[in-house]
Amino acid sequence: MNLIPDLDLLTDDIDAPKLTTDEAVGTRQVYLETYGCQMNVSDSEIVASVLRENGFGLTHDADHADVVLLNTCAIRENAEQKVRHRLSHFRAAKTKHGRDLKIGVLGCMAERLREKLLDQEKLVDLVVGPDAYRDLPRLLHETDETGQAAVNVLLSREETYADIAPVRYDTNGVSAFVSIMRGCDNMCAFCVVPFTRGRERSRPVTSILSEVSQLVEHGYKEVTVLGQNVNSYRVEHDGTAVDFAELLYRISLISPELRIRYSTSHPKDCSDDLLRVHAERHNVCNYIHLPVQHGNTDVLQRMRRTYTRDEYLDLIDRARTICPGISFSTDIIAGFCGETEDEHQDTLSLLEHVGYDHAYMFMYSERPDTYAARKYTDDVPEAIKKRRLTEIIQLQTGIARARNEAEIGQEHTVLVEGTSKRSDAQLYGRTDTNKVVVFDRKDFIKGDYVNVRITDCTSATLIGTPLGKTTLETEAGRLVVA
Ligand code: SAH
Ligand code: SF4
Ligand code: F3S
């Protein structure tokens, strides 16, 4: 569902399948398609690495693949439906052409649907959960040998794939994801992730820092540090505890020209120390994705989010005091169990109050086994959910447009990510505050930092005039002098 106009300009469109690039190595070719969040995109890079190490090649031509793997998402009903359609498509292709094709389901649908996929629907040859990717070559061998489906959906308390160098097969060469933790212990009432990805665990500091250093050596200019709740990152390192603020600080010291973003942060764990790292380090972006989910305290309590509306708004105020000009995006769920009209109005008023630059907005979708599925009734009728979501989207679109209009005349440092989809003569990139900017190509290239004056906008995109190439350090110096 593409809820945001112009979202096709962004690289993190969460529902878009990501394709691999062809590779000459390997005898058997694997086609890998990724659904869901950035964590899944990052996991597919681990999968690609494991497969390549074991002699498989990667292809983006599904018609000529020997193995088709779908890295799946279970977050909402429609995410699962999409995968089922794709599975039926590949199964039909296999039967019709009598191909020796192996079809596998990886990721978040694996655990819950393994019986259905294997038994009732007989759709797949391979089911592999998010903690079992090291086992993929063995499982592929097993299904080859036995002709039976091979399964490993065991969740781990330790696996972080810390020693596996991800294969960045779908990269723009400028920005990369770096996974710092796996799983989630939060148990928000609506959410299936703790069931699909298991317990929270943090990756050792050294392996994170060395992965980021290698990215810098390879010319990358931006990393997005990933976890379901990065703010609860915690490890013991050299006898002291390293939390997320400390980790982010250490990452920021690797290169003054590397921009750092992260996702996702749970409001309950967003500390003042972390906000101070944003303020002190010029290369930690002035932007936080801080999902609120709802604007009413009773609903937040039913959702088990563990903060109130006022606590969330206080956090926004604190962040704006410590980091002037900081930008926020959020996630919103419309039509959660028992949501009244007044409660829905509170979400609208919170959106107005905060003034997010961007929001991902969803209708509540009941997920099996979650607290909400077990304890509450999914009692808001579909039509009302839809109407409330539409109101939320309309309001947020207007807010985003007004915030973009306020940027006209301002200058921003934009990291160029590639050519605009609308015109070869234009480039696109992002501001520090994560806004997409489109401007004339001139002599600039991917990976340049360019100063751009904003001249126009839509609700999702800024349009500007490039003023010249710059560096992050130059811009930081200018701010200090000013
Ligand atoms: N770990 C992240 C969220 C990951 S899921 C966090 O805590 O912020 C991404 C988003 O999907 C959530 O923020 C939520 O808005 C939405 N989502 C999760 N479960 C959902 C459900 N059952 N129905 C609708 N939206 C859901
Ligand atoms: Fe799901 Fe909540 Fe964990 Fe996010 S913090 S992944 S919403 S349980
Ligand atoms: Fe989907 Fe799993 Fe991410 S359920 S949103 S792919 S963690």
Would you place residue 479 in the very low, low, confident or very high pLDDT band (cuts 50, 70, 90)?
Answer: low
Q: Average pLDDT of 129-153?
A: 95
Q: Is 179 in the pocket of ligand 3 (CB under 6 A)?
A: no
What pLDDT, on a 0 to 100 scale, did the predictor assign at position 169? 83
Would you place residue 94 in the very low, low, confident or very high pLDDT band (cuts 50, 70, 90)?
Answer: confident
Q: Using CA positions, which residue lies closest to atom 4 of ligand 1?
A: 228
- At residue 230, φ and ψ (nearest 5 deg) are -60, -25
What pLDDT, on a 0 to 100 scale, did the predictor assign at position 21? 45
What pLDDT, on a 0 to 100 scale, did the predictor assign at position 100? 83
Ligand nearest to the Cα of 380, by number: 1
Would you place residue 3 in the very low, low, confident or very high pLDDT band (cuts 50, 70, 90)?
Answer: very low
Of all residues in the chain, the percent with pLDDT exceeding 90 is 82
Rounded-to-5 percentages of helix, strand, coil across the chain: 40, 25, 40
Would you place residue 237 in the very low, low, confident or very high pLDDT band (cuts 50, 70, 90)?
Answer: confident
pLDDT exceeds cutoff 80 at 480: no
List of domains in the chain: 2-152 (3.40.50.12160), 175-405 (3.80.30.20), 411-481 (2.40.50.140)
Ligand 1 mean position to 79 CA, how many Å? Answer: 12
Ligand 1: atom nearest CA of 293 is 15
Q: Is 196 in the pocket of ligand 2 (CB under 6 A)?
A: no
Answer whether 183's CB lies under 8 Å from 197's CB: yes
Ligand nearest to the Cα of 194, by number: 2
The tens digit of pLDDT for each residue in 161-190 reads 999 999 988 788 999 999 999 999 999 999
The tens digit of pLDDT for each residue in 253-271 reads 999 999 999 999 999 989 9
Q: Is 191 in the pocket of ligand 2 (CB under 6 A)?
A: yes
Ligand 1 mean position to 468 CA, how many Å? Answer: 40
The mean pLDDT of the chain is 91
Q: Which pTM does this prediction carry?
A: 0.92
What pLDDT, on a 0 to 100 scale, did the predictor assign at position 25? 47
List the one residue out of 343, 332, 339 whose CA is nearest residue 380. 339
Tokens for 135?
Answer: 């086992």
Ligand nearest to the Cα of 336, by number: 1
Ligand nearest to the Cα of 42, by number: 3
Lowest model confidence (mean pLDDT) among 20-34, 242-256, 416-430, 444-458: 20-34
What pLDDT, on a 0 to 100 scale, did the predictor assign at position 93? 84
**Cα–Cα dist 297/175, whole Å:** 37
Q: Which of 1, 190, 366, 378 to mutate to test the pocket of ligand 1 (most atoms within 8 A of CB)?
A: 190
CA angle, 79 then 83 then 88, to 5°: 150
The tens digit of pLDDT for each residue in 271-302 reads 999 999 999 999 999 999 999 999 999 999 99
**Cα–Cα dist 160/154, whole Å:** 14
Ligand 3 mean position to 213 CA, how many Å? Answer: 27
DSSP state of 119: I
Would you place residue 151 in the very low, low, confident or very high pLDDT band (cuts 50, 70, 90)?
Answer: very high
Q: Is 75 in the pocket of ligand 3 (CB under 6 A)?
A: yes
Q: Is 435 in the pocket of ligand 1 (CB under 6 A)?
A: no
Q: Average pLDDT of 183-211?
A: 96
Q: Is 60 in the pocket of ligand 1 (CB under 6 A)?
A: no
Q: Using CA positions, which residue lies closest to atom 15 of ligand 1?
A: 331
Q: Is 74 in the pocket of ligand 3 (CB under 6 A)?
A: yes
**Cα–Cα dist 10/2, whole Å:** 11
Ligand 1 mean position to 213 CA, how many Å? Answer: 31
Q: Using CA positions, which residue lies closest to atom 5 of ligand 1?
A: 75
The alpha helices in 24-135, defined as continuous H runs, are 38-53, 77-97, 110-115
What pLDDT, on a 0 to 100 scale, did the predictor assign at position 16? 35
Of all residues in the chain, the percent with pLDDT exceeding 70 is 93
